[in-house]
Chain A
Amino acid sequence: MDSIILQVLNGLDKGAAYALIALGLTLIFGTLGVVNFAHGALFMIGAFCAVFLQRVLSYSRISIDESQKDFLGNPLKVETPFVEIWFGPDVGGSIVDWSVPLAILFAIPVMIAVGFAMERGLIKHFYKRPHADQILVTFGLAIVLQEIIKYFYGANPIPTPSPEAFIGSYDFGVMLGFDANRIIYPYWRMIYFAFAMVLIFGVFAFLQFTTFGMVVRAGMADRETVGLLGIDIDRRFTIMFGVAAAVAGLAGVMYTPIVPPNYHMGMDFLVLSFVVVVVGGMGSLPGAVLAGFLLGILESFASTTWATTTLPGINQIIIYLVAIIVLLTRPRGLMGRRGVMEE
């Protein structure tokens, strides 16, 4: 029982990342009808927003402290981040410490700008082209984006720690009446899950309860009619592209403490996220979220020792296996709409 709960918990944070990326992919596909292979790159850029902000905040003045000596007897060089000089050691120190959550504020405008630039600059010209062309050009864009990041940040993963307050784990087992240390779950993953839920509900609420969202939903259902009503639907769809980019970027920002970001993390997630979208059903937002969590949890169950000893390697292929079975038995995916990409 406790191991089941543990695996569900383990699957939640990865599932949350899948769900967020798949949500953005589906938003873009549902609104603009574009298959965006560069969406993983947006996730990666989000992660590197956190890295960038952390680097900027911990930018230091190097001063030589004569009173301290290093092991060679030379005066010790002391690095003091500029924020500590400006705001005092306490406030400054905690700003550096909290750089990842702060990066959320930084990443939102950046990601929306990147999303706008991408849509207006490139994807706009591909609405009328075949899906294969859309896949290819965004695939090329993804290569370009990740090479740019590689140029600035190198090829190695960059550790980006979470705030000190969230390092460590919470013992769920004790709360549920199991022995200590049976179900332990890192704080940051809990926060990631909560953050993802807030984001997902935020997007759904935005679409469901605002006039803007209503128009967007109407446009997803019948773009032409909405256009005939005199609504500039293209502009709204561009904004939705920005929102989708921001969702992917925020998913990336918050993921940095879990897995140190490197330049090809986006591609790794993208392949799986596409599978998630297809399993959930092309064009279905709830389907994408549901399939994201489902596959995340399935993957973590398949990684247990019991599963890997019964069926070796199952943890590596489970997602693809599920995708193949779903595609062959329920071609529309779990919650796919009729008439979406069925040519």
Chain B
Amino acid sequence: MLGLKHKDATLFLIVAALAVFAPFFMNPFPTDSGLAQFNAGYPDLMQKFVIFGVFAIGFNILFGLTGYLSFGHAAFLGVGSYSCVWMFKLLGYNVIPGILLSVAVSAVFALLIGIISLRRSGIYFSILTLAFAQMSFALAYSVLSNPAFNLTNGETGLQVYSSDPQIFHREGLPDLPHLFGLSMRATSTLDVGPWSFQFNAGYYLCAIIMLASFYLAIRIFRSPFGMMLRAVKSNQQRMNYTGLNSKPYTLAAFVISGMYAGLAGGLLSAVDPLAGAERMQWTASGEVVLMTILGGAGTLIGPILGAGLIKYFENIFSKINDAVLHQWFALLPDGLENAVVAVIHPFVGKGWHLTLGLLFMIVVIFLPGGLVEGGQRLGRALMAARARLRGGGREAKSGAADGQPGTPAE
């Protein structure tokens, strides 16, 4: 289907189904129940899931395939955001030109940075990209917001003012980002019993774009070009000895992942037309690294999982406060309850970064393949256990089958 192999097509359809029905299954708890705060099915968060999914998918094309660890991808995200808001300011609130420009500008930006950074590899490449991103951040924050040439609006962040030209803005069009009149904030609510499901136009636009970029990523992963990128990762020297110039491949991968980042930045502005310099800071670059590694670098689904997990942590886990904890453990005797809450307290609420850091360390130490590898191991263990239950006679055989390298599922 769609030029994909059976397995990839299945994966794509699963992701598509998840994206389409996200408003339902992200909202598993009735609105009035105590667990309603774990519902992630509100537009703002769902948009973040898919947008950062795009960002991480793009990062994975560079890091997962070529092994080049960029610590400066947030620069492209920021550039994309700024370009999109500029289109809003100049042309009007239609999101199409904004998103197109953000991809184009970040492509040019990534090409420039890539040509220079890719002259080195390993940690030097990481430092170079970090240096470029920090430079962009510093410039966007200070210099580019001077009164004579205000490109970024500095600390306030770039936003649309009523004095902006907006030449295509007409009466009747919403005064917010829209797609040919359909406002990105348009949300219809479906009430089923105690549940309330929200369907947001902005989310579905981002989800469609995410699916398109996911499809493209699958095609890249399975293409000869993708094979070349893997060759760069496994042994660049040998690749060069066989007479292949690896530079154009890595540069193309860098530019493609930069465009993905720019697209994500454009989408961030499309759902909320305010672009700030902090999107370019190196902590933002670190975040996408965390997402990709946590989910599983080099796998197709990993980055999306990682992005979802981190954004869920950031928005939901951080809301668990002491009162909620006391409510949960109310069944325990008082002394024990207080002790349990005191133990958990540092890890939730404002301390969610601590949990994230620990989780990240555990993943890097024990599961270099990320959560995807964890899932695979779990699956294999279950299979082995089932085989063992079925009968002792075939145990040795199934054990041997487990030992085979097999095709890594992605």
Contacts and interface: CB of A to CB of B under 8 A. Distances in A.
Interface of A: 35, 122, 125, 129, 131-133, 135-137, 139-141, 143-144, 147-148, 150-151, 267, 271, 274-275, 278, 282, 312-313, 316-317, 320-321, 323-324, 327-328, 331, 341, 343
Contacts of B121: 343
B378 to A, nearest CB: 22
Contact of A125 (B119, B282, B289, B365): B365
Secondary structure type dominating chain A contacts: helix
A316 B134 CA distance: 9
Contact of B364 (A131, A133, A151, A320): A133
Interface string B264-284: 000000000000000000110
Given A313-B139, A343-B122, A144 B127 contact: no
Contacts of A135: 69, 123, 126
Interface in B138-154: 138-139, 141-144, 146
Q: How large is the interface on B (under 10, 10 to 19, 20 to 34, 35 or more residues)?
A: 35 or more
B353 A132 contact: no
Contact of B293 (A136, A313, A331): A136
Nearest to A343: B122
Nearest to B69: A132
Given A137-B364, A316-B142, A327 B354 contact: no
A321 B135 contact: yes
Interface stretch (B12-20, B40-48, B245-253, B355-363): B355-363
A312 B145 CA distance: 11
Contact of B138 (A136, A140, A147, A313): A313
A151 B360 CA distance: 19
B131 A328 contact: no
A223 B32 CA distance: 65
B360 A140 contact: yes
B282 A327 contact: no
B128 interface: yes
A187 B138 CA distance: 31
A143 B360 contact: yes
Contacts of A321: 135
A105 to B, nearest CB: 30
B124 A147 contact: no
Given A136-B293, A312-B146, A148 B354 contact: yes
B353 A327 contact: no
Contact of B361 (A129, A141, A341): A141
Interface in B92-149: 116, 119-124, 126-128, 130-132, 134-135, 138-139, 141-144, 146
A136 B69 CA distance: 10
B116 A328 contact: yes
Contacts of A313: 138-139, 142-144
B157 interface: no
B30 interface: no
B28 interface: no
Nearest to A311: B143
Interface string B323-348: 00000000000000000000000100
Interface of B: 67, 69, 116, 119-124, 126-128, 130-132, 134-135, 138-139, 141-144, 146, 237, 282-283, 286, 289, 293, 346, 351, 353-354, 356-358, 360-361, 364-365, 368
Nearest to A126: B365
A320 B135 contact: yes
Contacts of A274: 127, 130
Contacts of A131: 122-123
Nearest to B368: A133
Contact of A271 (B67, B130, B353): B130
B365 A35 contact: no
Contacts of B143: 312-313, 316
Contacts of A122: 365
24 contacts: A125-B365, A131-B122, A133-B368, A136-B289, A137-B364, A143-B356, A144-B354, A147-B351, A267-B283, A271-B130, A275-B131, A278-B123, A282-B123, A313-B138, A313-B144, A317-B138, A317-B139, A320-B132, A320-B135, A323-B128, A324-B116, A327-B128, A328-B116, A341-B123
Given A35-B123, A341-B124, A144 B138 contact: no
A321 B127 CA distance: 12
A324 B360 contact: no
Given A137-B365, A271-B130, A323-B127, A144 B358 contact: yes
Nearest to B139: A313
Given A275-B131, A321-B135, A147 B120 contact: no
B357 A278 contact: no
A34 to B, nearest CB: 11
Given A140-B357, A313-B142, A327 B135 contact: no
Contacts of B354: 143-144, 147-148, 151
Contacts of A150: 353
Given A312-B143, A320-B131, A323-B131, 6 more contacts: A135-B126, A137-B365, A271-B134, A274-B127, A312-B146, A317-B135
B135 A331 contact: no
A132 to B, nearest CB: 5
B361 A137 contact: yes
**3 closest A-B pairs (Cβ-Cβ)?**
A313-B143, A143-B357, A316-B138
A316 B131 CA distance: 11
Contacts of A317: 134-135, 138-139
Contacts of A282: 123
A135 to B, nearest CB: 7
Most A CB contacts (10 A, CB to CB) among B130, B357, B358 go to: B357
Nearest to A274: B127
B361 A140 contact: yes
Contacts of B127: 274-275, 278, 323, 327
Contacts of B368: 129, 133
B94 to A, nearest CB: 33
